[in-house]
Amino acid sequence: MVVHPPAFGLQLKSFDADSIKKMPGIVDVFQIKTLKEGMTRGYFDTNAFTDLVAIVGQSTWQVMNAKKQLTVEWQPVEKSSHKVDRFGTEIEVEVPDGLESTEAHYEQMNGMLSKTATVARKDGQPESAFKTAAKTIERSYSCPFLAHNCMEPMNFFAHVTDDEVLLAGPVQAPSLVEATLASRLDLPLEKINIELTRMGGGFGRRAYGHYAIEAALISKQAKAPVKLVYSREDDMTFGIYRPSYMASYKAALDEENNLVAFQVKAGGVPETPLFANRFPAGAVANYQAEQWEINSNITIGAFRAPRSNFMAGAEQSFLDEVAEAAGKDPIDFRLELLEKVKSNPVGENNDYDPERLAGVLKLVREKSNWANSDPGVHRGVSAYFCHNSYAAHVLDMVMEDGQPKVTKVVCAIDCGIVINPDAAANMAEGAIIDGIGNAMYGELTFVDGKPQQQNFDSYRIIRHKEVPDSIEVHFVQNEIDPTGLGEPPFPPVFGALANAMYKATGRRHYRQPFITDKPPLVG
């Protein structure tokens, strides 16, 4: 097992190996450094904790017990930077020092919403349109960091000798890990062999193969085959999280309740979630999209449908509220905007097909029997484009003992030709359940750099009794080349859930997770 700092912003200073070397089964205790100083990192070499203590023993139980007894001293990190090769483009990543906290993050993000940001797209004259609008709607949305929490924590087998390197374990990008290993061990690629096991859950987390590098370095120093195992606490506190985001929206309606101006300003810690050219870009004559970022030493990475998993919920929640202000049915309102894009698009860089986005809305309206819900059933709708596919959901909710309960979700997807219908439907069902769980319960917070949730006793995930009673998945039939499906059904769930909760409770939700019922952070 490895021992890493208890907080982001700390690093290893010293440790007392003698305190545990005499414990039963313990073979060795030593320090490893996963990345070379000054190396240009690969895009998936994200790693906040590169200096670790390795504990080698004869069984997992023995090293777990020894780890609890190890005396370690930590020290603050200094402000630094490193180079990253983003698939051929080299970038410089700035890493601040200090111990960060969630409360301070939200204060910083709140402050950024009132400052001038970088304009990513501007159509028409949004400033003038807002001044002359008959009605203006402004709302802000936020979300916390999220941990991936794969059911199987990070682990890898490694056997490193002078002649070859054999590794086996669950990883999403073995070729990228192989390249980093070759650099770190000063060996040619042909001497490195990685065997893949079943994933044990991925969702983007296992694209970052630092745990494979750690296993290899431990095996090399121990001169023996080893199996590296993370505890759940290791996994949840090591980093590679979904970032924390915030976005503000503003819409203007004219006297006839037409949408005449739209503005979005979005950012996060430490990246922006903005997609400036997605819907409703192209549907509004006066449109502006702005973005900002706040640097952090907390490591983030791909989380199922990166960035889209927040923006879809915020955007689709806001569009529902604008539709209500305009006195229009939520689906009709979206289709009306998409018809404008088809007939007279604004701008030239709209990165979605309005016909296909409208197609999933029409299909989900038909299959859900949208206009005829049962008494006591409250409905929310959402539609989104990402990863080259289109998905729309209608989510049914009832109130049971004063608590919201999702009873049914009807999903429509356009991902081109569906190769394996059963596997495709299964992917959508999993995404829907995953989305409901993250939107309702998911939250990772920090105090002085330390994750406050370290296991499932404090990090809430969806339970069996909370999943929908029924999920229907319908695919648009066409002859278009197949596109993404692992991610596209996930983001729209957040908005459909929020919109259904409003219908069920009479209260809008602007801050995830929804179960906490916290007020908006902006104000």
* Domain boundary residue, one of 218, 237, 256: 237
CB-CB contact of 198 with 63 (8 Å): no
pLDDT at 255: 97
d(CA 48, CA 124): 43
> Does residue 134 lie in a domain region?
no
- 297 and 421 fall within a common domain: yes
Q: Which two tokens stand for residue 186?
A: 């000063």
> Does residue 107 lie in a domain region?
no
- 202 and 185 fall within a common domain: yes
What are 7-55's pLDDT values in tens digits?
Answer: 999 999 999 999 899 999 999 999 999 999 889 999 999 999 999 999 9
d(CA 360, CA 369): 14
pLDDT at 523: 43
- 213 and 290 fall within a common domain: no
- 326 and 408 fall within a common domain: yes
* Domain boundary residue, one of 211, 237, 263: 237
> Does residue 137 lie in a domain region?
no
> Does residue 111 lie in a domain region?
no
pLDDT at 521: 58
Q: Which two tokens stand for residue 449?
A: 């750099």
List residues bridging with 451 in a β-sheet.
446
- 251 and 174 fall within a common domain: no
> Does residue 62 lie in a domain region?
yes
With a CB cutoff of 8 Å and minimum separation 6, the contacts of 366 are none
- 363 and 432 fall within a common domain: yes
pLDDT < 70: residue spans in the chain: 517-523
CB-CB contact of 13 with 74 (8 Å): yes
CA angle, residues 414, 416, 417, in degrees to nearest 5: 125
Residue 6's CATH number: 3.30.365.10
Other C-beta atoms lying within 10 Å of the C-beta of residue 237: 23
- 152 and 198 fall within a common domain: yes
> Does residue 155 lie in a domain region?
yes
Q: Provide the residue range defining the domain that includes 164.
A: 2-82+148-237
Number of domains observed in the structure of the chain: 2
> Does residue 96 lie in a domain region?
no
d(CA 3, CA 66): 11
- 184 and 286 fall within a common domain: no
Q: Which two tokens stand for residue 340?
A: 């404008």
Counting Cβ atoms within 10 Å, is residue 20 exposed (0-12), middle (13-18) or buried (19+)? buried
- 249 and 216 fall within a common domain: no
- 377 and 484 fall within a common domain: yes
- 172 and 314 fall within a common domain: no
> Does residue 303 lie in a domain region?
yes
* Domain boundary residue, one of 237, 265, 280: 237
pLDDT at 19: 87
- 283 and 373 fall within a common domain: yes
